Amino acid sequence: MQKEPPNAHQAAQVLWAHWQSGQVLKALPEACRPLTAEHGYAAQAQLPLVSGREVVGWKIAATSANGQAHINVGGPMAGRLLSGQVFESGATVPSEGNRMRVAEPEFAFVMGQDLLPQVAPFTQQQVMAAVAALHPAIEVPDSRLSPFTEAGEAQLLADNACARHFVLGQAAPASWRELDLSTFKVHAKLEHGQNLKLSREGTGANVLGDPRMALTWLANQLSALGIPLQKGHVVTTGTCMVPLEMTPGDTVIADFGMLGQVQMTFSA
């Protein structure tokens, strides 16, 4: 006899309550704990309802082998970007309650048209034809599960694939379409006051091989779940370098060369 699927709405309520209070939990209660990726996505889908927030886009987590190994998952995961969690370049992003304390420079795409669910997989060409713009971006992830490295894929998906805050830079020049994003270099630095704390470099190859491939993966993942990728939604494709470890008061500057810069300060 098949076990009743866990209560997705209850899982979302528990997680959102913990986000609001700043508390963490080791695992969701058994009655609502997702055991499969499908259940995890079902719980995540309830988050906009219980939070009263709008979905403004999507994030992709674990787009590198290192990232997947770090959180013990077998592949990439999709999460929703919610209203009230997105900032413009130069913003001060809240540090309170954030336990991961990392900044992740990312290639983000804004959709110019809807991609509706379909039976056949989308090709990369179809997906890129639906894109309006490319933006440099920084994601500041976090999780309510502690330790998140042991929570497992299903619970991490319920917890919105570690989506927390997101900083969107200005749109890149249209010439980005002619570039090979897999080899494109991104430089980032972390400063505290006048002091340089660290600098790092990465490329688009760290994002499932190419940010365009990551976006195509997302379009097909959503299609399989019966979810449209909507015009105007932003998709941030995953960190292109080892995440930068922050402490409150730090400023992160990610330089995407001819594609522009994006920066943020982690609130003191």
CATH fold for domain 54-266: Fumarylacetoacetate hydrolase; domain 2 (3.90.850)
- pLDDT for 3 equals 58
Average pLDDT over residues 75-98: 97
pLDDT digits (tens, 9 = 90+) for 153-188: 999 999 999 999 999 999 999 999 999 999 999 999
- Is the pLDDT at 2 greater than 80? The verdict is no
Does residue 221 surpass a pLDDT of 80?
yes
Share of the chain above pLDDT 90, in %: 93
Given this model, what pLDDT does residue 67 score?
87
pTM of the complete model: 0.95
Average pLDDT (65-84) is 91
pLDDT, one tens digit per residue, over 132-153 is 999 999 999 999 999 999 999 9
Report pLDDT for 55.
98
Whether pLDDT at 246 is above 80: yes
Reported as a pLDDT band with limits 50, 70 and 90, residue 1 is: very low
Q: Report the chain's mean pLDDT, rounded to a whole number.
A: 96
| Cα separation, 195 vs 199, whole angstroms | 12
Q: Average pLDDT of 249-262?
A: 98
Q: How confident is the model at residue 72 (pLDDT cuts 50, 70, 90)?
A: confident
pLDDT of residue 4: 64
What proportion of the chain, given as a percentage, has pLDDT over 70? 99
**Would you kindly state where each structural domain of the chain is located, as residue ranges?**
54-266
Mean pLDDT of all residues in 202-224: 98
Q: What is the DSSP string of the chain?
A: -PPPPP-HHHHHHHHHHHHHHT--BSS--GGG---SHHHHHHHHTTHHHHHTPPEEEEEEE--SHHHHHHTT-SS-EEEEEETTSEEETTPEEP-TT-SS-EEEEEEEEEESS-B---SSPPPHHHHHHTEEEEEEEEEE---SBTTGGGS-HHHHHHTGGG--EEEE-PPPPGGGGGS-TTT-EEEEEEEETTEEEEEEEEEGGGTTTSHHHHHHHHHHHHHHTT--B-TT-EEEEEESSSPEE--TT-EEEEE-GGG-EEEEEE--
Asked if pLDDT for residue 218 goes beyond 50, the answer is yes
> Once rounded to an integer, what is the mean pLDDT over residues 33-52?
97
